[in-house]
Amino acid sequence: MLTNSPIPKNPLDRLTEAGLAWGEGTYARFAAPIGAAAFALYILLTAMTAWVLPDANWDMLPYLAIAEEGTYPDPQVLHDYAYSTVKSGVSAEEYRVLTDDGGGFRSHMTVNAADFHSLLGMYRIKFLYAEILSTMSSVMSPVEAMRLVSVFSVLLFGAITLLWLRSEGALALAPVVGAVLIVAEFGDAARAATPDVLTSALFLGGLYAYVRGREAATAILLFLAFMARPDNIVFLAVFAVLLVAFRQKAWGALAGFAASLAAYFAISHWAHHPGWWPHLWFSSIEQHYNMDGFDPAFSVAAYLRAFAASLLRAVTMNTWVGVSVLALAAWYAAGRAGFRLDRRAGILLAALVLGVLAKFTVFPIHDTRIYFPNLIPPFLLLAAPLMGLWASASLNARRPIAAHVGDQS
């Protein structure tokens, strides 16, 4: 049988192969420090961007207002304070965008203090974020305080992530987690003057404490994450139900849920929150200019339209659906290969996935930042199984080579 002779390799091919082999070997030997360094660099760059290139979003105005309404009880004075503070802290063009949309919602709120004040109940429930801003604003510019909270939250989130990966012996996967963060719009959330990244960092810390069996820390951190953004009560409820259903001993998570549930009703009453349906109407159906006494009749048809519209936007404009599917695929692949999560971690991962579905069902809104706290923990839970899968694949790749060498001896 005639065969073609192998084409001799030129020096450039041999040099390229040698370089690739050296690079692969070097990364295999130093994967953990290289992965940790690459991830740390990404976190530092994100924190720097949050300070240097912040996103001037409209929510800055009501957040600054609720932080200082104890100092400025009059709605008109409070309105003037919020707008003048933002004006002094952003560029002229950014301020114009925040205050002038050609006669629409933003233009109306710029000149109507009473209507602006009526919206604050939907922001006042983020109690912890408002208190932090109020405290920091006494020693620095309120807008700079917002940026500093974002920077601190990014650094805290990154530190907890690296600590989690290190405890699982999976620092080599840190660049993969960084890539997931990029896809999950972590940078956008970090640049925004909102409590989202602070909530995510506290939430991640609480879940890490749960995985490590630190019950008191679990309860405290999950409760603080709720206080920064109360819609986390949905995940806590799902998690509590699964823990009870599967008889998993985890008093920290259950205590965090119980405290959050009690605080939810108290804070909602104190904050004069308009209620679930009026808030959903404002966010997903139609912006209403004055929320005082606004109580539209519940409509199944309106809810289903809002659900469908938000789902369409989520799939076509945002990334949280894709990130969630990727996490489920990784869970399935690791499980099929025999690398399964233990019972404690498995219950948590199921709660995270179901929590996203429940949150969207309860309050259908398409923004990725709403679901961000639930997006990254599944990949950290799967770090150890994926490292096992990686090691198994590497071992299987070496075996044919070893057998081939043995046949020639």
CA dist 395 and 372 (Å) reads 35
- The arithmetic mean of pLDDT across residues 286-302, rounded, is 93
- Other Cβ atoms less than 10 A from the Cβ of 22: the count is 10
Give me the residue spans of the domains in the chain.
Answer: 33-390
pTM: predicted TM-score of the whole model, two decimal places: 0.90
- The arithmetic mean of pLDDT across residues 230-256, rounded, is 96
Residue 185 region, left (φ>0) first, then alpha (ψ -120 to 50), else beta?
A: left
- Residue with the two structure tokens 């001799």: 8
Q: What is the pLDDT of residue 21?
A: 59
- 389/346: higher pLDDT: 346
Phi, psi of 213 (to 5 degrees): 80, 20
Q: What is the pLDDT of residue 384?
A: 86
The yes-or-no verdict on residue 3 having pLDDT over 60 is no
- The arithmetic mean of pLDDT across residues 152-169, rounded, is 97
CA dist 182 and 130 (Å) reads 28
- 20/291: higher pLDDT: 291
Contacts of 246 (CB under 8 A, 6+ apart): 343, 347
Nearest Cα to 346, choosing from 334, 362, 358, 359?
334
Nearest Cα to 90, choosing from 143, 134, 146?
143
C-alpha of 281 from chain center: 24
- Residue with the two structure tokens 């720097």: 48
Q: ∠ CA(331), CA(336), CA(341), 5° rounding? A: 50
pLDDT single digits (tens) 370-396: 999 999 999 999 998 888 776 665 556
CA dist 397 and 192 (Å) reads 45
Nearest Cα to 38, choosing from 153, 165, 150, 211?
165
Q: Radius of gyration over alpha carbons of the chain, in Å? A: 25
- The arithmetic mean of pLDDT across residues 197-211, rounded, is 97
> pLDDT band at residue 408, thresholds of 50, 70 and 90?
very low
CA dist 320 and 375 (Å) reads 7
- Whether the Cβ atoms of residue 192 and residue 369 lie closer than 8 Å to each other: yes
The yes-or-no verdict on residue 292 having pLDDT over 60 is yes
Name the least confident of 31-35, 71-75, 144-148, 233-237: 31-35
- Pair of tokens at residue 359: 């949150």
Mean pLDDT of the chain: 90
CA dist 88 and 248 (Å) reads 52
